[in-house]
Amino acid sequence: MTIDAFIDALPKVELHVHLIGSASVPTVLELSRRHPGSRVPVTEEELRDFYAFRDFPHFAEVYGAVNALVRTPEDVATLVLGLAADLAAQNARYVELTVTPYAHHVVGMPMREVTEALDLAARRSAGEHGVRVGYIFDIPGEYGAEAARVTLDHALQEPPQALVGFGMGGIEQERPHHRDAFRDAFRAATAAGLRSLPHAGEMSGPETIWEALDGLGAERIGHGIACLDDPRLVAYLRDTQIPLEVCPTSNVCTGQVAHISGHPLPRMLEEGLFVTLNSDDPPMFATTLSDEYRIAAGVFGLDRRALAGLARNAVNASCLDAEGRRGILAEIDALAEAPETT
């Protein structure tokens, strides 16, 4: 079995992928043609140019333009099912999909209809593609207290059956202006039984990660690559084994890392941190979850044992029930223990 064949066969879990960012190129083109007059191109060549990001604010602007094309609950369900099909083709078993209720709220979608679409899509994803779905509701941080309120209201009043977590994304530099509102929202969400799963340390420094840990009660960190700038934080993350959702291609595409060869993933592993591999917004970044494993092997030199370890980490860091985790871990172990040939 070659390393590529091993990666293809490896049972996978995706912990960090966004609903809007998971929209395939054909789906985005279909939506842009359906809703003429948007800023999103209507040809594949133009769309790929549209996805050439200058920096994170530019990425956020483009992401918002694509998000504005998702206007009905049917659109929401279509995106979930499309992602499930894509992940099934990569031998993925489970995904925790980040959904931003505020984005649907501002285009007038009722909470109940969005939830019904998410519930339907989760059932069909499992039944038609063999991919279980858990949802994370996230606050777009740059929209402040109003976004926190809308996200929390949806999570508490009309939660989809598969809702497992409460998160926060967006432009990290805006968070200090709304710190109390975000803390209050996370406190209420975790009191209701949701896991605290915010992004932090992607486009800002270690202080954002500390705030996620101390102020938001984070149980897992989205990205977290800035932790290496603070030895005390590295030691804390190593001692507590708080999982980090690392997305190498995303970090390059949004300008957080200059080149993939300089990505901090190898050092994070050397430091003994709990790392998982993820795709973030795969069509926008021209990647897949399997591609991230290929990068780990081809660019960073990880062998089969290390790749299987990353796959196990994702399972163990997930919100899956114990039985679900055991089943996927057994599959990973069986593959990892098979005779190796090249």
pLDDT at 258: 94
User: Any idea of the CA torsion for 309, 196, 252, 176, to the nearest 10 degrees?
Assistant: -150
pLDDT at 27: 84
pLDDT at 25: 85
Catalytic one of 96, 202, 219, 292: 202
340 pLDDT more than 80: no
Segment 311-317 shows an average pLDDT of: 98
The CB density around residue 54, as the number of other CB atoms within 10 Å, is 11
247 pLDDT more than 50: yes
86 pLDDT more than 70: yes
- Give the least confident one: 46-55, 196-205, 262-271, 324-333: 46-55
Confidence band for 37, pLDDT divided at 50, 70 and 90: confident
**Catalytic residue flag (residue 202):** yes
92-99/195-196 β-pairing: unpaired
Q: Which of 294, 261, 260 is nearest to 277 (CA)?
A: 294
Segment 67-79 shows an average pLDDT of: 88
18 pLDDT more than 60: yes
52 pLDDT more than 80: yes
Segment 325-336 shows an average pLDDT of: 97
Segment 135-142 shows an average pLDDT of: 97
Question: Mind listing the pLDDT tens digit for each residue in 256-277?
Answer: 999 999 999 999 999 999 999 9
Confidence band for 38, pLDDT divided at 50, 70 and 90: confident
71 pLDDT more than 90: no
8 A C-beta contact, residue 279 and residue 289: yes
Question: Mind listing the pLDDT tens digit for each residue in 140-196?
Answer: 999 999 999 999 999 999 999 999 999 999 999 999 999 999 999 999 999 999 999
342 pLDDT more than 60: no
- Dihedral sign for Cα atoms in the order 296, 285, 162, 202: positive
The CB density around residue 85, as the number of other CB atoms within 10 Å, is 14
341 pLDDT more than 70: no
Question: What is the 3-class SS of 172-230, one letter each residue?
Answer: HHHHHHHHHHHHHHHHHHHHCCCEECCEECCCCCHHHHHHHHHCCCCCCEEECHHHHHC
The first and second tokens of residue 286, run together, are 């021209």
- 191 burial via Cβ count (<10 Å: 0-12, 13-18, 19+): exposed
8 A C-beta contact, residue 336 and residue 304: yes
Strands (E), the chain: 12-18, 92-99, 132-140, 163-169, 195-196, 199-200, 221-223, 244-246, 275-277
Domain ranges of the chain: 3-336
8 A C-beta contact, residue 93 and residue 13: yes
Q: Which of 254, 245, 297, 232 is nearest to 274 (CA)?
A: 245
Q: Which of 280, 225, 289 is nearest to 253 (CA)?
A: 280
pTM over 0.75? The answer is yes
- For a pLDDT cut of 70, what percent of the chain falls above it? 99
- For a pLDDT cut of 90, what percent of the chain falls above it? 80
Q: Which of 75, 77, 82 is nearest to 34 (CA)?
A: 75
Q: List, in order, residues 6 or more apart from 208 with CB less than 8 Å away.
A: 172, 175, 200, 201, 226
Max Cα-Cα span within the chain? 56
8 A C-beta contact, residue 14 and residue 96: yes
8 A C-beta contact, residue 83 and residue 22: yes
Of the two residues 69 and 329, the one the predictor is more confident about is 329
Average pLDDT taken over every residue of the chain: 94
Alpha-carbon distances of 64 from 15, 262, 287, rounded to whole Å: 22, 29, 20
Confidence band for 26, pLDDT divided at 50, 70 and 90: confident
- Which CATH code, of 3.60.15.10, 3.20.20.140, 3.90.340.10, 3.40.50.300, is assigned to 3-336? 3.20.20.140
pLDDT at 147: 97
pLDDT at 59: 84
